[in-house]
Structure 1
Amino acid sequence: MLAIAQRESQFFPYTVSEVDAKGLFQLTPIAVKQDQETFFKEVKEVDLFDVDQNIELGILYFKYLKNVYQNEKDPTLVLQQQLAAWNWGQGHIPSDKKFNFNQQPTTVQQFVGDILQYQRDCEQQKIKQAGKINLPLLLAGCFVFSCLILSLGLCCIHKIIEPKDGWQKAFQDWDAVAGSSIDVNSDGKIDLLMLMYDRGPAIERTNKVILVQGDSWRELLSESLCGFMGWEIGDFNQNGKTELLIRYDDFGMAGWQSWYLYEWKNNNFELLIDENQILSNLEVEDMDNDGFSEIIQTFWPYEEPKSKQIFKWNEQSQRYLPGKVFPVREL
């Protein structure tokens, strides 16, 4: 459940998706209704932004899916089927038919793969340096995990960072989809970095990154893009500056996605990389253990097989430089 919360909301309790899924576990009204019908759980006022409620209803819904999908003999396949149903909906994953993971949509395969990777990382207790896993994100995960082990007792100790005066009023007609507590400008003070989007049509949506410092806030970035798919924040290249990697889904563009790498400079984020690909996966990892994190994109080049490309930090140019594109089968 910790892995699901990380993948669904990055532990940000105010996350809202394109289909109006909300909160830590990105629950929909259908999931809540299923909980109520299956477990006779009556909730007078459902508030999916309430951490206690969202965790309880999320646990109950996954418990329901585990009861529905248990026909496959392979435990890994059973879990893949349950997670696919969580992501794509029970109507798309029949419980009485043979489940073939490789025949599921790419987005579903990616979701399930991310969950299983987060689970492996958690089980192996891989506590990574900044640039691989955001420290505040890890701490938030520990808080959420503490809530989860209390199961349905839900004595929640997850601490929510309350919004500062000013920005909340300015963005009262916007949705907050991501937030991270981090010392952005290396002044020794923890700031709040948030990504907001307006509630207009998805194909015309505006995304804004704002920085909240104490009682003041300001807008840093504004992009007319589509669906937010996640971000990574940290000092990837160990140069003492904060890097921000943002990934968007270009709806209606046949699987195309955009990602941007920024670095903090002159009191704002400067664009280092601007990529648009039919993307399968995007990772930040120190592959060669040299202390600098690489950025690895897995994608489908035009009329070419599924491939990988590694962007590596170059000390001389002080830039991330793209490497050769390799078909996945050759790696």
Structure 2
Amino acid sequence: MYQQIYSPLAGSIGASAAAAALPLAVLFVLLGVFKVQARWAALCALVCSLAVAIFVYQMPVVQAGSTAALGASTGFFPIIWIGINAIWVFKLTQTSGHDVVLRNCLSQVSPDTRVQAVLIAFCFGGLLESLAGGGAPVAICAVMLIAVGLDPVKAADIEQSEVLRWMDRFAAEGVHGVTLCDTTGMAFPSQVGALTSAARAQFPGLELTLHFHNTRGMALANTLAALAAGVNRFDASLGGLGGCPYAPGATGNVCTEELVHMLELDGYNTGVDLAALLSASAALPRLIGHDVPSQLLKAGRRSDLHTMPCLSSDGLPEQRAFATGV
């Protein structure tokens, strides 16, 4: 029987850990740096994993192959299998015409699509969660919402009730804080306000953190919406660094210096040295080799003075300082 060796490289835990992390590094570099399609990046990472297991950790080839097969089957059942069945159900209802039947049945309860969405996503979704779990409620309910005529983009949104249900589970496990993430920059202020207000009301003892990306320029607006609902913890990144390899055009998190600048203008004491933030952000382009998204770094603070060419009383040009925010 094979027993794992924890330090196969010269007895060094650090070197062995670095070798074990190599497949992850390959995956992230291919996805994030070279923008390789996910399936090819995953395949390369799998080959790298097998090589590390066999040649570094001395795992028998047969066991390494069976381990890879187990991982593939675990990914396929039930995760991919649920998605396949969701697509099959959608195609079946379309082809058979039962999407109309479903729509008519729910219309008899209420013609309001919001009521229909609650019935499907919350009531039927709760039933599916108890019967199947594993992502089935989201996949199947999204198909049903599309079948009753809801816009596909709205149907694909994670329902607020689903978010609150997961928060309830975490709270039941004794978790003290939850971070709600908008990694692809899809959130908008009214949605954020409604969700955070509901979360604060339902889980007053749970520490809530918001994580916004600025992909569509709404991160600061979303922050204000959450702030109005009573949230006071936000993730941010210096210069607006970051991104998401799965979302084309995705930008980084809300910019730390812009967030601090906005909050302090609105009277909040953040305790953060904005001048030091801007100084650190100014060094980033040299370190990473490209500009950062921070507009505050380019335009300066609201109170900063900038010289502007003017004509003096005698008609000669002179420089005067103007506050950009006035």
Please, what TM-score do these two structures have when normalized by structure 1? 0.25
Structure holding more helix per residue: 2
Which fold has the larger relative contact order, with Cα–Cα distance below 8 Å and residues 6 or more apart in sequence?
1
Please, what TM-score do these two structures have when normalized by structure 2? 0.25
